[in-house]
Amino acid sequence: MEVVGEAAVVIDTNFLAKGLFQRKALKWFADRMTKRGHWLVVPEVVVWEWAEQARETVRAVAAEMEDATRRVESSLGVDLVVPEVPDIDTLIERITKVLAELGVEIAVPEAEEAMSAVKQQVLQRGTGSKKAGVKTGTADALVLSAAKAQLGNADAVVLCTADKALGDRAMAASEQIQVANSKKTFWPLLAKVSPAVADLVKRMESFLMESSMEMVAAGPDPFIVGPVDMDLEVEEQLGLNLDASVQLDASIEQVMAMSLHDVDVITDDEPPFAQGEARVRCLVMIASWYTDADGTLTDEWTSTEVNLHTYVTVDLDANHVPVDFEVDAPAQLVAVDK
Protein backbone atom coordinates (compact mmCIF):
# COMPACT_ATOMS: atom_id res chain seq x y z
CA MET A 1 0.00 0.00 0.00
CA GLU A 2 1.36 3.43 -0.94
CA VAL A 3 1.12 6.09 1.75
CA VAL A 4 -1.14 8.99 0.77
CA GLY A 5 -0.85 12.38 2.45
CA GLU A 6 1.55 13.37 5.22
CA ALA A 7 3.49 10.62 6.96
CA ALA A 8 5.48 10.43 10.16
CA VAL A 9 8.56 8.29 9.56
CA VAL A 10 9.80 6.66 12.79
CA ILE A 11 13.40 5.39 12.73
CA ASP A 12 14.58 2.41 14.79
CA THR A 13 18.24 2.09 15.80
CA ASN A 14 19.02 -0.64 13.28
CA PHE A 15 17.58 0.96 10.13
CA LEU A 16 20.28 3.36 8.87
CA ALA A 17 24.07 2.98 8.62
CA LYS A 18 24.10 -0.52 10.13
CA GLY A 19 22.72 0.78 13.42
CA LEU A 20 25.38 3.47 13.87
CA PHE A 21 24.77 7.19 14.30
CA GLN A 22 25.80 8.95 11.09
CA ARG A 23 24.82 12.57 10.55
CA LYS A 24 25.25 12.36 6.79
CA ALA A 25 22.85 9.41 6.41
CA LEU A 26 20.25 11.05 8.66
CA LYS A 27 20.50 14.41 6.86
CA TRP A 28 20.05 12.77 3.47
CA PHE A 29 17.00 10.91 4.74
CA ALA A 30 15.50 13.86 6.62
CA ASP A 31 15.93 16.24 3.67
CA ARG A 32 14.05 13.94 1.34
CA MET A 33 11.24 13.49 3.86
CA THR A 34 10.89 17.23 4.35
CA LYS A 35 10.70 17.89 0.60
CA ARG A 36 7.83 15.42 0.34
CA GLY A 37 5.89 16.92 3.25
CA HIS A 38 6.72 14.08 5.67
CA TRP A 39 8.75 14.29 8.88
CA LEU A 40 11.29 12.13 10.65
CA VAL A 41 10.85 10.93 14.24
CA VAL A 42 13.58 9.34 16.37
CA PRO A 43 12.50 7.73 19.69
CA GLU A 44 14.57 8.95 22.63
CA VAL A 45 15.70 5.40 23.37
CA VAL A 46 17.26 5.25 19.88
CA VAL A 47 19.37 8.31 20.74
CA TRP A 48 20.57 6.48 23.87
CA GLU A 49 21.45 3.36 21.88
CA TRP A 50 23.34 5.36 19.25
CA ALA A 51 25.31 7.09 22.00
CA GLU A 52 26.11 3.81 23.72
CA GLN A 53 27.28 2.18 20.49
CA ALA A 54 29.54 5.14 19.76
CA ARG A 55 31.04 5.00 23.25
CA GLU A 56 31.61 1.24 23.04
CA THR A 57 33.33 1.67 19.67
CA VAL A 58 35.71 4.25 21.13
CA ARG A 59 36.24 2.05 24.20
CA ALA A 60 37.24 -0.89 21.98
CA VAL A 61 39.65 1.28 19.97
CA ALA A 62 41.14 2.67 23.19
CA ALA A 63 41.73 -0.84 24.52
CA GLU A 64 43.49 -1.82 21.26
CA MET A 65 45.66 1.30 21.34
CA GLU A 66 46.56 0.77 24.99
CA ASP A 67 47.67 -2.74 24.10
CA ALA A 68 49.65 -1.38 21.16
CA THR A 69 51.46 1.14 23.37
CA ARG A 70 52.63 -1.75 25.55
CA ARG A 71 53.79 -3.83 22.56
CA VAL A 72 55.54 -1.12 20.54
CA GLU A 73 58.79 0.12 22.07
CA SER A 74 58.53 3.87 22.76
CA SER A 75 62.11 4.49 21.62
CA LEU A 76 61.00 3.67 18.05
CA GLY A 77 59.38 7.08 17.93
CA VAL A 78 55.94 5.78 16.93
CA ASP A 79 53.30 8.17 18.25
CA LEU A 80 50.35 6.05 19.42
CA VAL A 81 47.49 8.13 20.78
CA VAL A 82 44.93 6.43 23.02
CA PRO A 83 41.54 8.11 22.50
CA GLU A 84 39.63 9.29 25.53
CA VAL A 85 36.38 7.39 26.07
CA PRO A 86 33.63 10.03 25.97
CA ASP A 87 31.01 10.51 28.66
CA ILE A 88 27.68 8.92 27.63
CA ASP A 89 25.65 12.00 28.60
CA THR A 90 27.91 14.18 26.45
CA LEU A 91 27.32 11.93 23.46
CA ILE A 92 23.56 12.01 24.03
CA GLU A 93 23.65 15.82 24.12
CA ARG A 94 25.68 15.97 20.90
CA ILE A 95 23.34 13.59 19.04
CA THR A 96 20.32 15.50 20.33
CA LYS A 97 21.84 18.75 19.05
CA VAL A 98 22.50 17.28 15.60
CA LEU A 99 18.93 15.97 15.34
CA ALA A 100 17.59 19.40 16.26
CA GLU A 101 19.74 21.00 13.56
CA LEU A 102 18.33 18.53 11.02
CA GLY A 103 14.76 19.22 12.08
CA VAL A 104 14.26 15.67 13.35
CA GLU A 105 11.71 15.21 16.10
CA ILE A 106 12.77 13.26 19.19
CA ALA A 107 9.91 11.27 20.70
CA VAL A 108 10.15 11.40 24.50
CA PRO A 109 7.83 8.87 26.17
CA GLU A 110 5.33 9.79 28.83
CA ALA A 111 5.98 8.34 32.29
CA GLU A 112 3.17 5.82 31.82
CA GLU A 113 4.61 4.65 28.50
CA ALA A 114 8.07 4.23 30.02
CA MET A 115 6.65 2.23 32.91
CA SER A 116 4.68 0.02 30.52
CA ALA A 117 7.84 -0.65 28.46
CA VAL A 118 9.79 -1.77 31.52
CA LYS A 119 6.85 -3.90 32.67
CA GLN A 120 6.69 -5.69 29.31
CA GLN A 121 10.35 -6.67 29.60
CA VAL A 122 10.16 -7.76 33.24
CA LEU A 123 6.93 -9.73 32.86
CA GLN A 124 7.78 -10.95 29.36
CA ARG A 125 4.62 -9.54 27.81
CA GLY A 126 4.10 -7.62 24.59
CA THR A 127 7.55 -6.85 23.19
CA GLY A 128 9.23 -8.71 26.08
CA SER A 129 11.53 -11.55 25.03
CA LYS A 130 14.72 -13.32 26.01
CA LYS A 131 18.02 -13.30 24.15
CA ALA A 132 20.69 -15.67 25.41
CA GLY A 133 18.70 -15.97 28.62
CA VAL A 134 18.59 -12.19 29.19
CA LYS A 135 15.24 -10.37 29.30
CA THR A 136 14.87 -7.65 26.66
CA GLY A 137 12.08 -5.66 25.12
CA THR A 138 12.00 -2.24 26.78
CA ALA A 139 13.61 -0.46 23.83
CA ASP A 140 11.29 -2.16 21.32
CA ALA A 141 8.27 -1.19 23.41
CA LEU A 142 9.38 2.46 23.44
CA VAL A 143 9.95 2.48 19.65
CA LEU A 144 6.49 0.99 19.08
CA SER A 145 5.00 3.51 21.51
CA ALA A 146 6.63 6.36 19.54
CA ALA A 147 5.10 5.06 16.31
CA LYS A 148 1.62 4.71 17.83
CA ALA A 149 1.85 8.22 19.31
CA GLN A 150 2.13 9.65 15.76
CA LEU A 151 -1.18 8.15 14.61
CA GLY A 152 -3.13 11.26 15.52
CA ASN A 153 -0.59 13.61 13.96
CA ALA A 154 -0.20 12.15 10.46
CA ASP A 155 -2.25 10.51 7.72
CA ALA A 156 0.00 7.49 8.04
CA VAL A 157 2.98 6.26 10.04
CA VAL A 158 5.95 4.38 8.61
CA LEU A 159 8.08 2.47 11.10
CA CYS A 160 11.56 1.81 9.73
CA THR A 161 13.05 -1.19 11.52
CA ALA A 162 15.06 -4.29 10.64
CA ASP A 163 13.45 -6.13 13.56
CA LYS A 164 10.79 -8.39 12.00
CA ALA A 165 9.04 -9.15 15.30
CA LEU A 166 8.73 -5.45 16.10
CA GLY A 167 7.50 -4.72 12.59
CA ASP A 168 4.83 -7.42 12.77
CA ARG A 169 3.67 -6.14 16.15
CA ALA A 170 3.47 -2.57 14.82
CA MET A 171 1.32 -3.54 11.83
CA ALA A 172 -0.94 -5.55 14.12
CA ALA A 173 -1.37 -2.49 16.35
CA SER A 174 -2.85 -0.33 13.58
CA GLU A 175 -3.59 -0.59 9.88
CA GLN A 176 -2.28 2.98 9.55
CA ILE A 177 1.23 1.84 10.48
CA GLN A 178 3.32 0.63 7.56
CA VAL A 179 6.68 -1.07 8.10
CA ALA A 180 9.87 -0.88 6.04
CA ASN A 181 12.83 -3.13 6.90
CA SER A 182 15.25 -1.42 4.50
CA LYS A 183 15.51 1.62 2.26
CA LYS A 184 14.67 -0.66 -0.65
CA THR A 185 11.27 -1.50 0.86
CA PHE A 186 10.78 2.02 2.25
CA TRP A 187 10.70 4.08 -0.93
CA PRO A 188 7.80 2.23 -2.61
CA LEU A 189 5.64 3.29 0.36
CA LEU A 190 6.27 7.00 -0.20
CA ALA A 191 7.21 7.30 -3.85
CA LYS A 192 6.17 6.04 -7.22
CA VAL A 193 8.71 3.44 -8.32
CA SER A 194 9.28 2.89 -12.03
CA PRO A 195 11.25 -0.01 -13.52
CA ALA A 196 14.94 0.63 -14.11
CA VAL A 197 15.20 0.49 -17.89
CA ALA A 198 18.32 -1.09 -19.32
CA ASP A 199 19.39 2.13 -21.05
CA LEU A 200 19.28 4.13 -17.81
CA VAL A 201 21.22 1.47 -15.92
CA LYS A 202 23.90 1.50 -18.64
CA ARG A 203 24.17 5.27 -18.42
CA MET A 204 24.42 5.04 -14.64
CA GLU A 205 27.17 2.40 -14.90
CA SER A 206 29.13 4.58 -17.34
CA PHE A 207 28.69 7.61 -15.09
CA LEU A 208 29.84 5.71 -11.99
CA MET A 209 32.80 4.22 -13.86
CA GLU A 210 33.95 7.61 -15.17
CA SER A 211 33.34 9.39 -11.85
CA SER A 212 35.15 6.71 -9.86
CA MET A 213 38.20 6.79 -12.12
CA GLU A 214 38.35 10.60 -11.82
CA MET A 215 38.04 10.43 -8.02
CA VAL A 216 40.73 7.74 -7.74
CA ALA A 217 43.06 9.82 -9.91
CA ALA A 218 42.34 12.90 -7.79
CA GLY A 219 43.05 11.16 -4.50
CA PRO A 220 39.90 10.52 -2.42
CA ASP A 221 38.63 6.98 -2.50
CA PRO A 222 34.98 6.68 -3.59
CA PHE A 223 34.36 3.22 -2.18
CA ILE A 224 36.95 2.36 0.50
CA VAL A 225 37.95 4.71 3.29
CA GLY A 226 40.16 3.57 6.15
CA PRO A 227 40.47 0.08 7.65
CA VAL A 228 39.05 -2.93 5.87
CA ASP A 229 38.08 -6.09 7.74
CA MET A 230 38.95 -9.36 6.04
CA ASP A 231 38.62 -12.82 7.47
CA LEU A 232 41.40 -15.39 7.14
CA GLU A 233 39.73 -17.13 4.21
CA VAL A 234 39.77 -13.94 2.13
CA GLU A 235 43.34 -13.23 3.23
CA GLU A 236 44.38 -16.65 1.96
CA GLN A 237 42.54 -16.09 -1.33
CA LEU A 238 44.38 -12.82 -1.77
CA GLY A 239 47.68 -14.53 -1.05
CA LEU A 240 48.27 -12.65 2.19
CA ASN A 241 49.89 -14.51 5.08
CA LEU A 242 48.58 -12.40 7.93
CA ASP A 243 47.92 -12.76 11.61
CA ALA A 244 44.21 -12.59 12.48
CA SER A 245 44.73 -9.46 14.56
CA VAL A 246 46.51 -7.46 11.85
CA GLN A 247 44.90 -4.19 10.73
CA LEU A 248 44.48 -3.62 7.02
CA ASP A 249 44.07 -0.41 5.05
CA ALA A 250 43.06 -0.55 1.40
CA SER A 251 42.84 2.09 -1.30
CA ILE A 252 41.76 1.79 -4.91
CA GLU A 253 44.57 1.88 -7.44
CA GLN A 254 42.54 1.32 -10.61
CA VAL A 255 38.82 0.85 -11.43
CA MET A 256 38.43 -1.88 -14.05
CA ALA A 257 34.69 -2.57 -14.33
CA MET A 258 31.37 -1.44 -12.86
CA SER A 259 27.94 -3.08 -12.78
CA LEU A 260 24.64 -2.26 -11.05
CA HIS A 261 22.04 -4.73 -9.81
CA ASP A 262 18.56 -4.52 -8.24
CA VAL A 263 18.17 -0.89 -9.25
CA ASP A 264 15.11 1.09 -8.11
CA VAL A 265 14.37 4.39 -9.85
CA ILE A 266 12.39 6.92 -7.79
CA THR A 267 10.80 9.40 -10.19
CA ASP A 268 8.18 10.92 -7.89
CA ASP A 269 10.79 13.02 -6.13
CA GLU A 270 12.67 16.26 -6.78
CA PRO A 271 15.24 15.55 -7.98
CA PRO A 272 14.66 11.93 -9.06
CA PHE A 273 17.23 9.37 -7.99
CA ALA A 274 18.11 5.70 -8.27
CA GLN A 275 19.46 3.18 -5.78
CA GLY A 276 21.09 -0.18 -6.36
CA GLU A 277 23.88 -2.60 -5.56
CA ALA A 278 27.22 -1.67 -7.10
CA ARG A 279 29.78 -4.31 -7.95
CA VAL A 280 33.19 -2.92 -8.78
CA ARG A 281 36.17 -4.84 -10.17
CA CYS A 282 39.36 -3.00 -9.30
CA LEU A 283 42.97 -3.14 -8.24
CA VAL A 284 43.61 -2.13 -4.64
CA MET A 285 46.73 -1.41 -2.66
CA ILE A 286 46.53 -3.15 0.72
CA ALA A 287 48.76 -2.04 3.56
CA SER A 288 49.33 -4.32 6.54
CA TRP A 289 51.30 -3.53 9.68
CA TYR A 290 52.93 -6.03 11.98
CA THR A 291 55.72 -6.20 14.55
CA ASP A 292 58.77 -8.31 13.71
CA ALA A 293 60.37 -10.68 16.20
CA ASP A 294 62.88 -7.96 17.10
CA GLY A 295 60.05 -5.50 17.87
CA THR A 296 60.34 -3.46 14.66
CA LEU A 297 57.07 -2.11 13.31
CA THR A 298 56.91 -3.05 9.62
CA ASP A 299 54.48 -2.13 6.86
CA GLU A 300 53.90 -4.28 3.81
CA TRP A 301 52.03 -3.21 0.66
CA THR A 302 50.31 -5.61 -1.70
CA SER A 303 48.55 -4.82 -4.98
CA THR A 304 45.76 -7.26 -5.80
CA GLU A 305 42.59 -7.53 -7.88
CA VAL A 306 39.33 -7.60 -5.90
CA ASN A 307 35.58 -7.17 -6.21
CA LEU A 308 33.85 -4.51 -4.15
CA HIS A 309 30.19 -4.85 -3.18
CA THR A 310 28.29 -1.82 -1.87
CA TYR A 311 25.10 0.19 -2.40
CA VAL A 312 24.95 3.54 -4.15
CA THR A 313 22.44 6.34 -4.66
CA VAL A 314 22.67 8.12 -8.02
CA ASP A 315 20.99 11.53 -8.34
CA LEU A 316 19.34 12.18 -11.71
CA ASP A 317 18.35 15.43 -13.36
CA ALA A 318 14.87 16.12 -14.78
CA ASN A 319 15.82 14.16 -17.93
CA HIS A 320 17.03 11.16 -15.86
CA VAL A 321 20.67 11.89 -16.64
CA PRO A 322 23.07 10.89 -13.80
CA VAL A 323 24.60 13.98 -12.17
CA ASP A 324 25.97 12.84 -8.81
CA PHE A 325 26.32 9.79 -6.57
CA GLU A 326 27.14 8.74 -3.04
CA VAL A 327 27.99 5.42 -1.45
CA ASP A 328 25.29 4.27 0.97
CA ALA A 329 27.37 1.73 2.89
CA PRO A 330 31.05 0.79 3.37
CA ALA A 331 32.28 -1.43 0.56
CA GLN A 332 32.76 -5.12 1.22
CA LEU A 333 36.07 -6.46 -0.09
CA VAL A 334 35.71 -9.83 -1.88
CA ALA A 335 38.54 -11.85 -3.39
CA VAL A 336 38.37 -12.50 -7.12
CA ASP A 337 38.00 -16.18 -8.02
CA LYS A 338 41.18 -17.32 -9.66
Question: By residue range, what is the domain housing residue 17?
Answer: 7-190
Mean pLDDT computed over 165-172: 91
Of residues 228 and 210, the one with the higher pLDDT is: 210
Same domain, 150 and 26: yes
Of residues 223 and 46, the one with the higher pLDDT is: 46
Q: What is the predicted pLDDT for the residue at 93?
A: 96
Mean pLDDT computed over 183-189: 80
Q: What is the predicted pLDDT for the residue at 191?
A: 67
Q: What is the predicted pLDDT for the residue at 232?
A: 44
Among 155, 170, 190, give the residue marking a domain's end. Answer: 190
Same domain, 186 and 198: no
Residue 235 lies in a domain: yes
Q: What is the predicted pLDDT for the residue at 248?
A: 56
Same domain, 320 and 181: no
DSSP 246: -
Among 144, 168, 190, give the residue marking a domain's end. Answer: 190
Same domain, 178 and 208: no
Between CA 317 and CA 313 the distance in angstroms is 13
Report the percentage of the chain scoring pLDDT > 70: 79
Residue 1 lies in a domain: no
Q: How many structural domains does the chain have?
A: 2
Residue 47 lies in a domain: yes
Q: Which of 236, 334, 233 is nearest to 277 (CA)?
A: 334
User: Tens of pLDDT along 23-42?
Assistant: 988 998 888 888 888 999 99
Across 79-83, 149-153, 197-201, which has the greatest mean pLDDT?
A: 149-153
Residue 282 lies in a domain: yes
Helix orientation angle between 164-173 and 138-149, rounded to the nearest 10 degrees: 40
Between CA 198 and CA 131 the distance in angstroms is 45
Residue 57 lies in a domain: yes
Same domain, 181 and 208: no
Same domain, 184 and 230: no
User: Tens of pLDDT along 90-120?
Assistant: 999 999 999 999 999 999 988 888 788 777 8
pLDDT at 313 over 70: yes
pLDDT at 245 over 50: no
Same domain, 214 and 284: yes
| CATH code of the domain covering residue 116 | 3.40.50
Same domain, 37 and 142: yes
